[in-house]
């Protein structure tokens, strides 16, 4: 073995984010000091972003098997069977730290990266969703991040022709310094044509194709996502620059190569660039790989060897090709006007070698690079004092129910997202059956007349109050959204956005949240197919709210019967379905009133919620329900207003146990009842398991055999009128509610 000449030493290792102990492990694995290229490669692959060294033991506890699972964790994207010989590939990933530095490019390249994850398994991307978090929109910085991040998402998705069909955005003080940009992509493929990323076949060649390699993005995602952001650091040079038109050609080129059966394995280049993609392909295939950087097409001729290996330039793919097919592969690349070059070879050595015109620059065991990164035990400890300051109060505690409803509808977290969604093309591709604000989940047509439903959800404030129950609630909200359009959940992806796991209180949040995620997914039989972890989301002002973002995919047999959230027909009955027990704890109302987060959330009837979702799902499919909308932020009153606004129809509703007809499931659990105390809890309290439905009364009564049903009113007129315990507390025209709801977010876009 020839040792590289340049020996950077321990101080250089520390500068690259490695600890002294980790450096010693590298020396032991190599049986010598590492060279510059080797040290750069180890520093990135052993970073938190690439190795999950603080979270991997927790992730191994999650459910990853299911009847519909086709491709599970460990690949670029997971996949589930949706019938008719088709599979749906999907995944969610973050681009948080780069977006906090350069929001337009950070968000745009986040979309580009998640698209490549999906077509790297052979699936054609058919939809994108996003989950966004910013600080209070009264902040100039938050408005800047919001405007530019949304612009970047729209630019990339619209340009490449993949619809953005759904998502969410929330504004909270703890995200002021660390915004969250999570993107989810869904793709469609014939199940038998799914391709994996494991390299195989000694003597097979590696072909790099796509954009040229440059200095943009060096150390970007992997370094930025593995440390806290400093207030005075200028990180802009490390943020990648995306080109959606180049990606469009790359996508078509990749899919044609797969269609022609010209490649053995395929991997996208994301964080850590060639270092990560090549070494992970080698590790999965238990082979070695040689790369000659002199063969890599460069944008800048004077790049250092380590820069070539760690560049995070976008729009690049790496494939394994049998020698006899190399010319054909390069011909397809030429057809699509993308660069293509054979840059290396699969070996049987189990080693990752970096060469330049045959000169050795690095020689490392693949296992040491990929599998032997040290894993760190977390030291979780529940904090003794509140971690987050209460928000500033913007609503008086003695505000009337109508004033409270109007304030909630106008608040940034509940106002219409139309100013945001209008920047995205949600119907390109002609698959979209239900668009944003038409239903709780996006619905996409499948070739056989069935449909795919997709939802993405999370609520950091509730998770901050109770990491375990808050995460269960996030999963249940995602599943409720699917149920409201008639879809059965088939699989789940997640993005775990947390602070510094080396701190006991963050370790506790992460540990509890993952436990809740596993519990809820097991109950729903919706296994984890893959995901992402984003840690160190904190700075001088403290950590973000712990924010597990949940993405879920489901199927409904008839796309023509997909549910909608708006009221449909005057005279139809309205019911509240499911084990809904509202509480003001960590609610949107509590935020507007400036209340401190509570220490815990009420218990969740997980089994009851799963039963309720199944009952609603079947009723939507049968046509027994005209509308279905989950009760989420803002409670029953806001859910009623949203259904009225979506259908442009009013409603007359009476709440209170003495004034409704409450029907329970035969032999089931007792009705959870209504909260005692102030009207605020009854009207605006939040919890899990509640769905607001409308339809013919007979259909609503039929639900009572399977779950709790409370008949609470009728659809009709042009006003929303709500009585509580015999007293009218809300009376407003649908037109007035619409004006307030429409204007709440528009002012925050430049």
| Residues catalogued as catalytic | 49, 95
Position 648 scores a pLDDT of 97
pLDDT at 2 over 60: no
| Region of poorest pLDDT, from 23-37, 128-142, 224-238, 302-316 | 224-238
HEC profile of 680-721: HHHHHCECCCCEEEEECHHHHHHHCCCCCEEEEEEECCCEEE
Q: Averaged over 616-636, what is the pLDDT?
A: 97
Q: How far apart are CA 442 and CA 452, in angstroms?
A: 8
Give DSSP secondary structure letters for 39-70: HHHHHHHTSHHHH-TTTHHHHTTS----TTEE
Question: What domains can be seen in the chain, in order of their start residue?
Answer: 1-64+195-376 (3.90.650.10), 397-425+564-750 (3.90.650.10)
Position 675 scores a pLDDT of 61
Closest CA to 546 of 497, 609, 597: 497
Q: How far apart are CA 81 and CA 63, in angstroms?
A: 17
pLDDT at 230 over 90: no
Q: How far apart are CA 464 and CA 390, in angstroms?
A: 12
Q: How far apart are CA 217 and CA 130, in angstroms?
A: 22
Q: Are 218 and 312 in contact (CB under 8 A)?
A: yes
- What does the pLDDT look like over 66-93, one tens digit per residue? 999 999 999 999 999 999 999 999 999 9
pLDDT band at residue 539, thresholds of 50, 70 and 90? Answer: confident
- What does the pLDDT look like over 175-204, one tens digit per residue? 999 999 999 999 999 999 999 999 999 999
Give DSSP secondary structure letters for 192-235: GG--------TT-EEEEEESPB-STTTTHHHHHTTSPPPTT---
- What does the pLDDT look like over 106-156, one tens digit per residue? 999 999 999 999 999 999 999 999 999 999 988 999 999 999 999 999 889
Q: Are 421 and 436 in contact (CB under 8 A)?
A: yes
Q: How far apart are CA 467 and CA 602, in angstroms?
A: 12
pLDDT band at residue 1, thresholds of 50, 70 and 90? Answer: very low
Better pLDDT: 333 or 676: 333
- What does the pLDDT look like over 33-56, one tens digit per residue? 999 999 999 999 998 888 999 999
pTM: 0.94
Q: Are 146 and 134 in contact (CB under 8 A)?
A: yes
Mean pLDDT of the chain: 91
Q: Are 232 and 504 in contact (CB under 8 A)?
A: no
Closest CA to 433 of 485, 479, 478, 482: 485
Position 423 scores a pLDDT of 83
Give DSSP secondary structure letters for 528-570: EEEEEEE---EETTEEPPPEEEEEEEEEES-GGG---SS--ST
- What does the pLDDT look like over 687-698, one tens digit per residue? 999 999 999 999
- What does the pLDDT look like over 256-308, one tens digit per residue? 999 999 999 999 998 889 999 999 999 999 999 999 999 999 998 889 999 99
Distances, alpha carbon 686 to alpha carbons 259, 681, 683, in Å:
49, 8, 9
| Region of poorest pLDDT, from 152-166, 197-211, 224-238, 638-652 | 224-238
pLDDT band at residue 540, thresholds of 50, 70 and 90? Answer: confident
**Ramachandran assignment for 542, one of left (phi > 0), alpha (psi -120 to 50 degrees), beta (any other):** left
């Amino acid at each position: 073995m020839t040792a590289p000449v340049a020996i950077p030493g321990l101080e250089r290792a520390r500068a690259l984010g490695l600890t002294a102990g980790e450096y010693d492990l590298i020396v032991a694995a190599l049986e010598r000091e590492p060279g510059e290229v080797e040290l750069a490669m180890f520093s990135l692959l052993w970073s938190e972003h690439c190795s999950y060294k603080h979270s991997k033991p927790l992730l191994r506890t999650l459910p990853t098997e299911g009847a519909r699972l086709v491709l599970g964790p460990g690949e670029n994207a997971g996949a589930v069977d949706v019938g008719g010989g088709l599979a749906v590939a999907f995944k969610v990933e973050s681009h948080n730290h780069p977006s906090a530095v350069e929001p337009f490019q950070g968000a745009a390249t986040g979309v580009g990266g998640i698209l490549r994850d999906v077509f790297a398994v052979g699936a054609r991307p058919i939809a994108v969703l996003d989950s966004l978090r910013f600080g209070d929109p009264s902040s100039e910085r938050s408005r800047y991040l919001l405007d530019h991040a949304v612009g970047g998402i729209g630019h990339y998705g619209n340009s490449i022709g993949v619809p953005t069909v759904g998502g969410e955005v929330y504004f909270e003080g703890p995200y002021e310094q660390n915004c969250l940009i999570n993107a989810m992509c869904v793709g469609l493929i014939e199940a038998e044509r799914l391709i994996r990323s494991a390299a195989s076949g000694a003597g097979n060649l590696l072909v790099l194709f796509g954009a040229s390699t440059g200095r943009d993005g060096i150390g970007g995602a992997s370094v930025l996502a593995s440390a806290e952001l400093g207030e005075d650091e200028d990180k802009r040079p490390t943020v990648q620059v995306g080109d959606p038109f180049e990606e469009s050609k790359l996508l078509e080129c990749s899919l044609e190569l797969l269609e022609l059966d010209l490649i053995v394995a395929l991997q996208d280049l994301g964080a850590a660039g060639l270092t990560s993609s090549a070494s992970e392909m080698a590790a999965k295939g238990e082979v070695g790989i040689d790369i000659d950087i002199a063969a890599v097409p460069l944008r800048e001729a004077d790049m250092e060897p380590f820069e070539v290996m760690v560049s995070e330039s976008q729009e690049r793919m790496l494939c394994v090709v049998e020698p006899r097919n190399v010319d054909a592969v390069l011909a397809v690349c030429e057809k699509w006007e993308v660069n293509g070059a054979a840059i290396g070879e699969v070996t049987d050595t189990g080693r990752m070698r970096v060469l330049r015109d045959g000169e050795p620059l690095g020689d490392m065991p693949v296992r040491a690079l990929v599998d032997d990164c040290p894993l760190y035990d977390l030291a979780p400890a529940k904090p003794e004092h509140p971690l987050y300051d209460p928000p500033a109060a913007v609503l008086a505690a003695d505000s009337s129910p109508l004033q409270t409803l109007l304030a909630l509808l106008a608040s940034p977290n509940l106002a219409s997202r139309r100013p945001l969604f209008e920047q995205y093309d949600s119907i390109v591709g002609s698959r979209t059956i239900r668009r944003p604000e038409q239903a709780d989940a996006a619905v996409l047509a499948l070739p056989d007349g069935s449909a795919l439903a997709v939802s993405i959800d999370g609520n950091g404030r509730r998770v901050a109050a109770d990491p375990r129950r808050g995460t269960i609630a996030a999963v249940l909200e995602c599943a409720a959204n699917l149920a409201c359009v008639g879809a059965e959940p088939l699989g789940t992806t997640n993005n775990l956005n947390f602070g510094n796991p080396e701190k006991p209180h963050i370790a506790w949040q992460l540990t509890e949240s993952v436990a809740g995620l596993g519990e809820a997914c097991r109950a729903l039989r919706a296994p984890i197919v893959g995901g992402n972890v984003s840690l160190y989301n904190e700075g001088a002002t403290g950590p973000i709210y712990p924010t597990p973002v949940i993405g879920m995919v489901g199927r409904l047999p008839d796309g023509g019967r997909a549910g909608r959230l708006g009221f449909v027909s005057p005279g139809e009955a309205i019911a509240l379905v499911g084990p809904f027990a509202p509480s003001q704890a960590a609610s949107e109302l509590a935020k507007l009133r400036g209340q401190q987060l509570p220490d815990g959330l009420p218990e969740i009837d997980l089994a009851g919620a799963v039963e309720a979702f199944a009952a609603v799902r079947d009723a939507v499919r049968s046509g027994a329900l005209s509308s279905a909308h989950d009760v989420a932020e803002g409670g029953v009153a806001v859910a009623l207003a949203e259904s009225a606004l979506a259908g442009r129809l009013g409603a007359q509703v009476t709440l209170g146990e003495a004034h409704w007809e409450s029907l329970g499931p035969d032999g089931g659990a007792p009705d959870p009842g209504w909260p005692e105390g102030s009207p605020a809890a009854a009207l605006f309290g939040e919890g899990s398991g509640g769905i607001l439905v409308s339809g013919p009364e007979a259909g609503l009564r039929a639900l009572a055999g399977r779950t709790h049903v409370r008949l609470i009113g009728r659809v009709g007129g042009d006003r929303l009128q709500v009585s509580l315990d015999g007293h009218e507390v809300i009376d407003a025209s649908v037109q007035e509610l619409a004006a307030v709801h429409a204007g709440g977010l528009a002012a925050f876009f430049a």
